[in-house]
Amino acid sequence: MAGRSQHYIPRLVLRGFLARRTSRDEYAWVARKTGEIFCGNLEGIATQRDFYSDPARPGEATLDRQITDYEDRLATLVSALRALPIGAAADASVAAEVIAHLTPRAATVRSLFSDALARLLEQAAPVLNNTDTMRRFAGLNSPAPTDVFRTEIFEKIKEQLPAAQMGAPMDLIERMAFAFARENMDELFEALRPDIQTGFGMMDEMAPERVRVGHQQSLGRSLAPPERMEKLSRLTWHVAAAPEDGVLLPDCVALAYDCAGNPAPYIMASHDEIHVVVMPLTDRLLLVGRTDGAATPDLGHFNTDAAACSDSLIVTAHRSHPLEALVPIIGSRANAFIAENIDEVVENFAPPAAEAAPLRPGQDFSFDIQCPDWGDQAQIDLLGEWLVDILKRLAAVWPLQRLEGFTFAFDYEGALASLDRGFGAPPKPSDLSPDERLSLAMAPAIIRDGVLKARIVMRARLAQALIDNDDVLRPRALYVLIAQLAHVSLMTLIEDHWPGILLAPLADNHTYQLYSRTHPALFGYFVARGSAPFSQVLEIEAELSIEFGNTVARRRVALEAASSAFEQDGDIDRHYQAKLDAAGEILERLAQLIGHRHGLDQPGLPAEGALVAMLEKLELIKWFGLLEADLQHLWLHRGSWSSFEAFSSFTAHAERLLWQLGAMSWRIDDDTYWIQFFPTEGLNAIGALEPAI
């Protein structure tokens, strides 16, 4: 009968676990999580005041009244199941309806969800109170605009942006807004942090009431959810005998077992993982449902499982049960189940762990050595032995099967000029970059029998240094060799992942202009990072810092000359190309420096302050941190990239530098792009800077 003391486990179920009965009252033993053990009146067992509904006004339909009315049908269904002989098959639809009704209505549902929400808030607060996590949620964890940023942020603000009102193309505005948001995320997040913390506090306070209302609304929609009934009805049901000492009733009513026999409250288990469901009908009778082929678990341990899966209490007909031993484990499995699932959710919120993707070991391969103007046969054989030893070691972790071989020559430029690449023109060091290391060695791409490979071409004096016992020159020669092998390794990873991608034309001319300046930086980072551990006795970081300063000084002079020429001849494209070249080389130098430091487990900027000062004057300190993070992410996912966009999106960094140099551009069609110049200090912001020697 409806009233204010409302049973979340109906008395018709509790009557299966009676300890004694008088002419007026019914009693059962109860053990609570708090340690209380008592024989109580069913009138007060498994009840809470106004659990389903507040007191009703005259004529008002309430959830408690709805449940009370339904219990007439429920009593018929439960009686039919209890009347079955042991071992008899049970009607799947009857078993499904009984469990689908009793398990969601119990207080354990409300308690477990309240605990789960509280744990989620507790665990998620420090994770969500983290800039890196918020970057991912806002879609700011990629070099180029993401779908999340586009739909959740940009679409809501684009019309209010000044650039949009001035008629600038929307894709350019989007890229600029994205860059601004990424670089200023820390400040934006700090401004919002108090509101976030206040919001978590309010959610924590409101959680119990929200769970209560949500539970009542769910029950109000259906007292036996059809989707749950349908899944339960797929099981094969029968009635089984309880163990000799009888069974107790958990406050979660029914247990679910997975394929390994691990129990959980049925209401919290995933149906995809359920193999067996067990509900005590009486202290002597169990209702058991199994998936096809599933074995019934050892029911001799059912009471222990039931106590562990209960939330706050267990009910039994027998004081002879070792209740004192069961009390400490009440709620243990339910709490562990919540913890496991909430921790998994929080892990998905948290930034991914910085672990490198596994690399396939290099496959067996052969290579040749050509020495057109250096060495006798004994020297070449010794060099070959030396190279075989190095490659065997590296091929265990680096994919190098696209290495065709080596050419060592005193006439380095001539060896490059005569190289048959199988496509295009022979490479020259000046074709790719003013990097001085390219005057010592290169690994040009070649095609052999339709397969993209690479051939390492090095100056002969490096070969001599490799076989001589020269403690001064050999470390340099080894470092240069390892750097070229790192280049081959990255080329192999990319080409194996997307065959033909490195020589395939890009989608449009605008993207080509940007990516052709970005590609050397990406390879530069990988090469510098891979070769860094072999630079112990060399001062590579100092060299890279000096090269960066020289690059800035040289490019500033070149840009001043290009600006003067533009004033005279108005050649827009030549002026744009000069700015692109400057942006590309600066990007490459920084990527090399970052890669070298990452290879030595030294993130961040060098302690020496010249580079920091230059980046601050150029207003690129925030951008530098993003470049470093994006390069690190690319390295950690090497070989498991989802698409080539992992590389092509880095054009955003070249474009960011281009803006700093006073130029912006956007695509018109596949062949045409628009160029716009605007006044900016550019590299002149650094002030006087002479090239270092």
Mention every residue, 6+ apart, whose C-beta is less than 8 A from residue 108.
251, 252, 253, 265, 267, 310, 311, 312, 334
Handedness of CA 424, 427, 428, 431 (dihedral sign): positive
Q: What is the mean pLDDT of residues 169-176?
A: 87
pLDDT digits (tens, 9 = 90+) for 443-501: 999 999 999 999 999 999 999 998 887 777 888 888 899 999 999 999 999 999 899 88
Examine the domain organization and report whether 584 and 678 are in the same domain. Answer: yes
Same domain, residue pair 539 and 460 = no
Domain check: are 115 and 215 in the same one?
Answer: yes
- Which among 322, 319, 253, 321 has a CA at the least distance from the CA of 27? 319
Contacts with 169 (C-beta within 8 Å, 6 or more apart), sequence order: 666, 674
pLDDT of residue 159: 67
Do 584 and 529 share a structural domain? yes
Instruction: State which H helix or E strand residue 559 sits in.
Output: helix 540-569
Q: Into how many domains does the chain fold?
A: 3
Shared domain check, 600 and 682: yes
- Is residue 325 domain-resident? no
> 1 pLDDT band (50/70/90 cuts)?
very low
Q: Are residues 510 and 471 in the same domain?
A: no
Query: pLDDT of 50-93, one tens digit each?
Result: 888 888 777 778 888 899 999 999 999 999 999 999 999 999 99
Q: Note whether 460 and 522 are same-domain residues.
A: no
Mean pLDDT over residues 173-181, rounded?
87
Among the listed ranges 417-421, 427-431, 465-469, 611-615, which one has the minimum average pLDDT value? 427-431
534 and 402 in a common domain: no
pLDDT exceeds 90 at position 536: no
From 203, 221, 239, the end of a domain falls on: 221
Is residue 645 a part of any domain in this protein? yes
Q: What is the mean pLDDT of residues 123-144?
A: 69
Q: Rounded to the nearest 5°, which phi and psi values hold at 646?
A: -55, -30
Rg (CA), the chain: 36
Tell me whether residue 556 is in a domain. yes
pLDDT digit string (tens) for 505-518? 887 999 999 999 99
Among 170, 203, 221, the domain boundary falls at 221
Above 80 in pLDDT, residue 424? Answer: no
* Per-residue pLDDT at 353 exceeds 50: no
Instruction: Note the pLDDT of residue 92.
Output: 96
Overall average pLDDT of the 337-356 stretch: 45
Domain co-membership, 534 together with 417: no
Each residue of 6-24: b (16+ CB within 10 Å) or e?
bbbbbebbbbbbbbeeeee
Evaluate whether residue 293 is within a structural domain: no
Domain endpoint, select from 221, 239, 260: 221
Please report the pLDDT score of residue 434 as a whole number. 40
- For residues 557 and 659, state if they share a domain: yes
Q: What is the pLDDT of residues 374-395, one digit of tens each?
A: 999 999 999 999 899 888 888 8
pLDDT of 297 reads 81
Percent of the chain with pLDDT over 70: 84
Residue 559 confidence (pLDDT): 93
pLDDT confidence of residue 160:
67
In this structure, of 116-125, 412-421, 668-677, the range with the lowest mean pLDDT score is 116-125
DSSP state letters, 42-88: GGGTTEEETSS-PPPPTT---HHHHHHHHHHHHHHHHHHHHTSPTT-
pLDDT value for 275: 95
Domain assignment of residue 216, yes or no: yes
In a domain, 363, yes or no: no
Percent of the chain's residues with pLDDT above 90: 49
- Residue 89 DSSP one-character state: B
Predicted confidence (pLDDT) at residue 346 exceeds the cutoff of 50: no
* Shared-domain flag, residues 512 and 600: yes
Confirm if 132 and 349 have CB atoms less than 8 A apart. Answer: no
pLDDT above 60 (res 655): yes
Residue 351 belongs to a domain:
no
- Domain holding 513, by residue range, is 505-693
Residue where the block lists tokens 């070792």: 322
Task: Please tell me the total number of residues recorded for the chain in this structure.
Answer: 693
Looking at per-residue pLDDT, the higher value among 685 and 672 belongs to: 672
Cα distance between residue 259 and residue 276, in whole Å? 8
State the Cα angle at 479 between 473 and 484, rounded to 5°. 130
- pLDDT tens digits, one per residue of 304-330: 999 999 989 999 998 877 889 999 999
Averaged pLDDT for residues 258-273: 88
Specify if 417 maps to a domain.
yes
When mean pLDDT is compared across 9-23, 339-353, 499-513, 670-684, the lowest value belongs to 339-353
Is residue 558 located within the same domain as residue 414? no
* Of 48 and 113, more confident: 48
CB 177 within 8 A of CB 154: yes
Kindly indicate the confidence band of residue 153, based on its pLDDT and cuts at 50, 70 and 90.
confident
On whether the pTM is more than 0.75, the answer is no
Question: DSSP letters of 403-471?
Answer: EEEEEEESSHHHHHHT---SSSPPP-HHHH---GGGGTEE--EEEETTEEEEEEEEEHHHHHHHHS--T
